[in-house]
Amino acid sequence: MKAYSSELIRRLESIVKPDYVIYDRAGMGVYELDASDESIAGVHTPDVVVLPETAEQIAAIVRVANDLSVPVIVRGAGTGLAGGTITTRGGILLVTARMNHILEVNETDRYAVVEPGVINLDLTAALLGRGYYYAPDPASQKTCTIGGNIANNSGGPHCLKYGVTGNHILGLEVVLADGEMAWFGGASSEMPGFDLTGVMVGGEGTLGIVTRAMVRISRRPEASGVLLAAFPSIDSASRAVSATIAAGIIPASMELMDHLTITAIEVSAQAGYPKDAAAVLLIELDGLIQTVAEHKQIVAEICDEYGATEVRVAQSKAEEDALWLGRKSAFGAMGRLAPNYHLTDTVVPRTKLPLALERVAEVAVEYNLKIANVFHAGDGNLHPLILFDRNEPGAMERVLEASEVLMQYCIDLGGAVSGEHGIGIEKQEALPLMFTDLDLEAMAKLKRSFDPENQLNPGKVFPTSFDPYQRLDSPEKVALHVD
């Protein structure tokens, strides 16, 4: 153990009950990994795990960490896919699982105040009887936390119509790097000054620790409907997506799955997808009863126009749930196809989907890999799942090279390195594909202003070759960058 460990543990046990300070090897083993690719993120043991119950306890923990120069890394449910909560430099792993209370629901102003450990789906379940729901719905919503969603600005199937997490965060209570507490934003639709709420959303715990969130809640739509359209090619399915939106219809969600994904889902979940389809679109429409009925017909006609071999409208809630179960169990179903997969979360403009998917197929051939596609087609957020066996010599190297090729291609199409999973460890070396040193320095200035001693989640987001605490001082590097 490090020299500071005994004093650190003693001081932490004076803040929370000793039962909530974990430092034995077996207990900390639970927190060595998150849901990211172990081959990239690795296995890292915290120096100590602490489970606070209040914002005041978190503030006190941060002040102790400052006194002893110990890093602080925040973790929710551990469902992150980019290694953002891995303790690569040791330190205190601060787990928010006990901070799981819904503190207020205001139906008049349409907001709820929640603690960061509230499970995403639990919030919607609590609002169900009131006629409201919380719109952002990551595939892991049964287990992921609101705090984790805020850290990564998570999306989900319904972000096409309703936006990502950042579109639903009104205000945040935050413990800053010096242990002080601040409140950003609020219930008003417009707030003066800098948008510090927006800065915190997507900050991956590198700028502050969210201890309370004021989230926007939405009225449940009058009606909804789910369609499943099967296509003879992934290209025709992706073109139907753009055609639907070009027709003036914005579905609540449009999810695309290819044949490889369908095969895995039907073996594991028996969702009722046509096994002979090259691709399926899962389309959800919502709104007024008459509007949904009209849009179902128009969308079915568009799918037919683009070669759909079958268009099925779910006739019951049970059938809708079965179709959605297939989509939300897709990642887990990949275990039916290969021992391991590497998820490349990237984005392209919607109209570039056919080009991007064509390149995915070419890369699979070039690198002798199987790649399954399941993604948010409506907003161009791709999720190529590169299947492999990490025990095969050279497989991991081929996978990582293929992933970088795909990311570069998507960026060249006008896209981005990540759509919703965050940067963490997994994507940090990919940032230079998209940003210059000057771009990164602008981000580094923000990091330094909030966290001058680099105490909060150090070693994440920025490439390892770029030290955010080593300033760019030479004149040629601070000149304006114009592409």
Residue range 98-150, pLDDT digits in tens? 999 999 999 999 999 999 999 999 999 999 999 999 999 998 999 999 999 99
Phi/psi at 378 (nearest 5 deg)? Answer: -60, -35
Question: Cα–Cα–Cα angle for 41, 47, 48, nearest 5°?
Answer: 110
Over the stretch 182-200, which tens digit does the pLDDT of each residue have? Answer: 999 999 877 889 999 999 9
pLDDT at site 4: 61
Closest CA to 99 of 210, 197, 240: 210
Alpha carbon distances (Å) from 15 to 63, 68, 299, 432, 448: 11, 15, 57, 41, 28
The neighbour count for residue 449, using CB atoms within 10 Å, is 11
Closest CA to 253 of 70, 377, 366: 377
pLDDT at site 191: 81
pLDDT at site 473: 61
Report d(CA 404, CA 12) in Å as an integer: 42
pLDDT at site 481: 39
pTM: 0.93
Structure tokens at 282: 């899962």
DSSP 431-460: GGGT--HHHHHHHHHHHHHH-TT--BSTT-
Show the domains of the chain with their CATH numbers. Answer: 5-95 (3.30.43.10), 102-219 (3.30.465.10), 223-330 (3.30.70.3450), 338-412 (3.30.70.2740), 435-478 (no CATH)
Report the percent of the chain where pLDDT is more than 70. Answer: 97
Mean pLDDT, the chain, whole residue set: 93
* pLDDT at position 329 over 80: yes
Over the stretch 383-414, which tens digit does the pLDDT of each residue have? Answer: 999 999 999 999 999 999 999 999 999 999 99
Question: Are the CB atoms for 481 and 438 separated by under 8 Å?
Answer: yes
Question: Are the CB atoms for 111 and 187 separated by under 8 Å?
Answer: yes
Which pairing describes strands 346-347 and 279-287: parallel, antiparallel, or unpaired? unpaired
pLDDT at site 480: 39
pLDDT at site 363: 97
* pLDDT at position 471 over 80: no
pLDDT at site 114: 98
Report d(CA 387, CA 385) in Å as an integer: 6
pLDDT at site 230: 98
